[in-house]
Chain A
Amino acid sequence: MNSDLLLTGILQGLILALTTYGVMVPFRILHFADLTAEGAYPLGGAVCSSLLLMGSPTVLAIIMGAIGAGCMGIATSLVHLRLKVNSLLSGIILSTMVYSVNLRLLGKPNVALFHRALLFHPDHLTHNVLIVALILLGTVLPLMCFLKTERGLLMRAVGLNPSFAKRQGISVAHYTILGLFIGGCFTGLSGGLMVELQQYVDVGMGVGVVIHALAALMLGEVILGNDTLNKQLLAPLVGALVYQQIQGIALSIGLAPSDLKCFTGFLVLLVIAMQRKKTGEPS
């Protein structure tokens, strides 16, 4: 494997790590089975692209993409909390609706972003890796700090024991909305960065993103464990980097790109089997 291939894997792994954090917050912190990422990822990309096409500065476009996807997280939580719709179904409904929103934003199913002022330079891989690493640090560190504050502790309590939280007078709705907003922002940020990297946006870019992020998250948890908060917060990063390299190796030894989703599914099942064996749970 040459260094360019390794760096490309790291770069894509870092961007995937952001999506993985976006999935980790609802799934692991709030214990809220959520598919919002499937819509939030392309929404982040679509908002970012449409702003770039309007001549907006690239940083602003990425931030707005993240906030837009965060708002989608709020919408999912409100559908679940107010209309009492199952959490998975809420995410699916919102993702379906967002597909139309993305088409409206872009005007057509896919748009190229060549000749725009973008964050990444195609020929400077190290520079690109550094930029994403800094963005990751600048977003994951505040999340890490927040979860170690009193309010963060309350959010974790809501996820771990909602009936206890209610009896303690903790607003489960408040922290669910906040958690899904944070998760949406991470996913939207990842979508925006991917669009900038590829210089191309497609309304179908979110298909399968949750399964990729879950595979990365579970892989990270198998490698590091998830018995402490620090391990839980590092697992998405480590998992995404390893997962992307595994994918790269699989492709380099001849796996067809069309078989990648099937490969991911097998990997997830393998990781689940490994976790079962590790915890000693009977099958």
Chain B
Amino acid sequence: MLQLMHVTKTFPGHFGPVLNEVNLTFNEAEFCVIIGSNGSGKSTLLRTIAGEYAIDHGRIRIDNQPHQEVRSLIASVIQDVNQGTVPDMTLLENVVLGCLKRQKAGLRWYQSRQQEALQQIQSLGMNLERYLHTPIKNLSGGQRQMIATLMAIQSKPKVLLLDEHTSALDPKTQRVLMAYTAQAIEQHRMLALMITHKLDDAIEYGNRLIMLHDGKVVLDVAREQKQALSRNALLDLFHQYETKDHHEQ
């Protein structure tokens, strides 16, 4: 469904490629967790798939079409809560914006989607309905990230990109948001790629695990092998690459 063939990306002034001949194939309903140290190319990979960065060479295709032509099939949630929503708009307006990604906007009142938006907000189970007409800049960071995730999921994308979307949240909200995300991915059978620095999350969630290092895929395991991995084994892998870097320097 999503294919990356020989994808290479460099940035001016950056030593070496950030993505180096990446070849990956993902299938529908796959929940893939991506890990790697800082600067390994994780976020660049997701932003490249999202079409935010042009690649130097290689090809990215979604359902056999160039990814740039089907950007409406992709939704992303990033760490910065201010970028995933419109903070000055109300909760209702934000959720309607999420709906409008999959449906063509017309000249009908956006308020007429209130019922649809309300149902979606209720599906979060966080009692946010009372804030329907409140600008979401007045809500907490966790609530705003929940809304950003809801908006991305409700736009029913084929590819959902999650870039450390729980990292700025407290442990309790993190668990609630991760549980909601995992359930929604399974329910809507979308392909999800999630970046995380939390090794426990990497082991617990998803049915595929990829590790990047220096822009290359150094580990790519399916659910069965992933379940066999322990936190310590993953930590050892991290250290292995860090030591390698240290020796190279």
Residues of A near any B CB (own CB < 8 A): 146, 148-154, 156-157, 160-161, 163-164, 167-169, 227
Contacts of A156 in B (CB 8 A): 86, 89, 93
Closest-by-CB residue of B relative to A150 is B105
With A149-B108, A161-B83 known as contacts, the answer to whether A168 contacts B101 (CB < 8 A) is yes
With A149-B107, A150-B96, A150-B108 known as contacts, the answer to whether A161 contacts B87 (CB < 8 A) is yes
Asked whether B71 is an interface residue with its Cβ less than 8 Å from the other chain, the reply is yes
Q: Please state if B86 and A157 are interface contacts (CB–CB under 8 Å).
A: yes
A/B interface sample: 17 pairs, CB < 8 A: A146-B107, A148-B109, A149-B106, A149-B109, A149-B110, A150-B100, A150-B105, A150-B106, A150-B110, A153-B100, A153-B105, A153-B110, A160-B87, A160-B89, A164-B84, A167-B76, A168-B101
Contacts of A149 in B (CB 8 A): 106-110
* Interchain CA distance A248-B43 in the complex, whole Å: 59
Closest chain-B Cβ to A162's Cβ sits at a distance in Å of: 10
- Pick the 6 closest A-B CB pairs, nearest first: A150-B105, A153-B110, A161-B86, A149-B107, A169-B72, A160-B86
Most chain B C-beta atoms within 10 Å of own C-beta, residue among A161, A163, A167, A227: A167
Closest chain-A Cβ to B139's Cβ sits at a distance in Å of: 16
Q: Please state if A168 and B106 are interface contacts (CB–CB under 8 Å).
A: no
Asked whether B97 is an interface residue with its Cβ less than 8 Å from the other chain, the reply is yes
Asked whether B111 is an interface residue with its Cβ less than 8 Å from the other chain, the reply is yes
Closest-by-CB residue of B relative to A163 is B83
Closest chain-A Cβ to B107's Cβ sits at a distance in Å of: 5
* Interchain CA distance A151-B110 in the complex, whole Å: 8
Closest-by-CB residue of A relative to B88 is A160
Closest-by-CB residue of A relative to B82 is A161
* Interchain CA distance A154-B96 in the complex, whole Å: 10
For chain B, the count of residues having a C-beta within 8 Å of the partner chain is 28
Checking B76, B105, B109 against A154 with a beta-carbon cut-off of 8 angstroms, the contacting residue is B105
CB contact list, B90-147 vs A, under 8 A: 93, 96-97, 100-101, 105-111, 113, 135
Closest chain-B Cβ to A88's Cβ sits at a distance in Å of: 23
Checking B84, B88, B106, B111 against A151 with a beta-carbon cut-off of 8 angstroms, the contacting residue is B106
Contacts of B100 in A (CB 8 A): 150, 153-154, 168
Q: Please state if A148 and B110 are interface contacts (CB–CB under 8 Å).
A: yes
Closest-by-CB residue of B relative to A156 is B89
Asked whether B50 is an interface residue with its Cβ less than 8 Å from the other chain, the reply is yes
* Interchain CA distance A247-B208 in the complex, whole Å: 70
Asked whether B85 is an interface residue with its Cβ less than 8 Å from the other chain, the reply is yes
Closest chain-A Cβ to B185's Cβ sits at a distance in Å of: 19
Contacts of B50 in A (CB 8 A): 167
Contacts of A163 in B (CB 8 A): 83
Contacts of B101 in A (CB 8 A): 168-169
Contact mask for chain B residues 73-85; partner A; CB cutoff 8 A; 1 contact, 0 none: 0001000001111
Contacts of A160 in B (CB 8 A): 86-89
Contact mask for chain B residues 54-76; partner A; CB cutoff 8 A; 1 contact, 0 none: 00000000000000000110001
Q: Please state if A154 and B97 are interface contacts (CB–CB under 8 Å).
A: yes
Closest chain-B Cβ to A24's Cβ sits at a distance in Å of: 16
Checking B71, B72, B85, B93 against A164 with a beta-carbon cut-off of 8 angstroms, the contacting residue is B85
* Interchain CA distance A227-B96 in the complex, whole Å: 19
Checking B89, B107, B155 against A157 with a beta-carbon cut-off of 8 angstroms, the contacting residue is B89
Closest chain-A Cβ to B104's Cβ sits at a distance in Å of: 9
